[in-house]
Amino acid sequence: MENLIEIQNVYKTYQLGKVGSQALNDVSLSVRKGEIVVILGPSGSGKTTLLNVVSGLDKISKGKILYQGKNIAKYRDYKMTRFRKKNLGFIFQTYNLLEHLNVYENVLVGASLGKAKVDINSIIDTVGLKKHRKKYMYQLSGGEQQRVSIARALAKNPSVMFCDEPTGALDEKTGKVVLQSLVEANEKLGTTMIIVTHNPGIALIGDRTVRMNSGKIIEIKENEKRMDPIEIPWG
């Protein structure tokens, strides 16, 4: 598979008064088109900072972030905003759904942000919410709402989906259902997935696991075979 993203010697320093805090320290990583990469590490390891700079939500202090050969780290704010809108999808621990809209309408909002026409009902079916498409958010469980947020992000038809602790607020059974939705979206739509988590079991659903600590990548492991989310150990 060809490389979609190349992170080259990236540093990120946060200035706290006169003292600098190194959140990323000489990080390099390639992400192949269509794969699932799981970034694993404890709190403060730099995993969320890495997700934020690769997705353009934050700026790097030094290095390069190449997306299909173009260094997006040099983009100005307006150009980066357009780039994110056109190419990237986001799933966070908080769902950020519109309470006055039903499932279909929330996903439609996501579709309106992308240029490509998508089959909204097919996407809702992919995340297992076909029978809930007319329900409002108060009628859904937390796991179902998270799957709505996944469907909304997929409706943009993004090249890359960034997932920051997507199961962090969910119990094991519900979390595994959400992970199944991500894997099915990857398999059916070819969406590249970058998942940040502190849960080591989630690493088993990916093609590769990236372990971080103290702002550095300490290990990159290729999984011989993806494990079904239902079968992974939890926590």
Domain parsing of the chain, residue ranges: 32-59+85-231
pTM of the model: 0.90
Tell me how crowded residue 8 is: count the other CB atoms within 10 A of its CB: 15
- 99-144 pLDDT per residue, tens: 999 999 999 998 888 766 788 999 999 888 999 999 999 999 999 9
- 16-33 pLDDT per residue, tens: 777 778 999 999 999 999
Spatial strand order of the sheet with 19-32 comes to 19-32, 3-16, 62-67, 70-71
pLDDT at 223 over 90: yes
pLDDT at 228 over 80: yes
pLDDT at 94 over 90: no
- 152-165 pLDDT per residue, tens: 998 988 999 999 99
pLDDT at 54 over 80: yes
CATH code given to domain 32-59+85-231 = 3.40.50.300
What was the pLDDT predicted at 133?
A: 94
Task: Say if CB 92 and CB 146 are below 8 A apart.
Answer: no
Return the axis-axis angle of helices 172-189 and 142-154, rounded to nearest 10°. 20
Query: What is the phi-psi region of residue 181: left when phi exceeds 0, alpha when psi lies from -120 to 50, beta otherwise?
Result: alpha
Distances (CA, A) of 36 to 21, 26, 64, 70: 30, 23, 22, 21
